[in-house]
Amino acid sequence: MIKLNIKEKIFDEVSLENKITNVTKIVLTPNEEKIIIEYQENNFRNLLIKDFQDKTENIIKNIKWWTLDKIGVNLYFSIKTNEIHLYNLYTKKSTNFLIPDINNIKASQISFSERFVAFLTSGSYDRIDIYDFKNFVYIKDIFKSGEKKSIKNFKWLPGYNFILIYGRLTDFDKNNKIDYQDPNELVMFDPITRRYYKILDNIDDFYSITPDGNFILYKKGKELYIYQIPYEKIFTQ
């Protein structure tokens, strides 16, 4: 049971249907008017969208993946592996985009401009795929190397159409494979020009990006560091 006082912004409890028991994720929209609850049922992922304003509920069943935009208006998800649904939480209208079949999605994230959605998929190797809603272009495996990689995290930069990717991405020791002996690095990918820019290498963890998109928080050894992205230097190389 969860209740929300819209006027005073007091978030207490929300009541769920009795059949919804295996809750795996809860997301509240930034304006605190709607809540999205992911739950498991018969080995399938479902979404319950509850509206605190008009008291309505909507259930989307058997989804493959989903992500919400930064302002909490548009929900992106797939039921079939060859399509993306763009669902407006307020008008409740849906727009569909056809894409190549995509399976084994581990994570997804929409860019801050909402022009791109990125997928981390697993298979014979980890890869990042990106779909461009403006040009209806699907970029499969932005690294295009086919090498087995260990991608641990990725985030879109606030205010930019650039994506940061963290993990073991390069065969540093030249032993013809990417493995535990290779250090973690952080690279930036521009899906418009399809160029890569190395940001940091030999780091131990990548935590977050500041809201202005200018600073990165990461760990090396036992120390926490704040690093300013040198955009001017990067783009003049």
Q: Is the pLDDT of residue 222 over 80?
A: yes
The pLDDT tens digits of the residues spanning 73-103 come to 999 999 999 999 999 999 999 999 999 888 8
Q: What is the pLDDT of residue 122?
A: 82
**Two tokens, residue 55:** 């008291």
Domains of the chain in sequence order: 104-235 (2.130.10.10)
The closest alpha carbon to 72, from 115, 114, 13, belongs to 114
Tokens of 141: 């495996």
Query: Per-residue pLDDT for 4 more than 60?
Result: no
Mean local confidence (pLDDT), 23-35: 90
Tokens representing 173 are 């020791």
pLDDT at 169 > cutoff 60 = yes
pLDDT tens digits, 187-210: 999 999 999 899 999 999 999 999
**Percent of the chain's residues with pLDDT above 90:** 56
Report the alpha-carbon angle 211-217-219, nearest 5: 165
pLDDT of residue 2: 47
Q: Which two tokens stand for residue 220?
A: 């090396």
DSSP secondary structure letters along 25-51: EEEE-TTSSEEEEEEEETTEEEEEEEE
Mean pLDDT of 26-49: 90
Where residue 1 falls among pLDDT bands split at 50, 70, 90? very low
Whole-model pTM? Answer: 0.82
pLDDT at 79: 94
Strand ranges, E, within 15-147: 23-28, 34-41, 44-51, 57-63, 65-68, 74-78, 83-88, 94-98, 105-110, 116-121, 127-132, 137-139
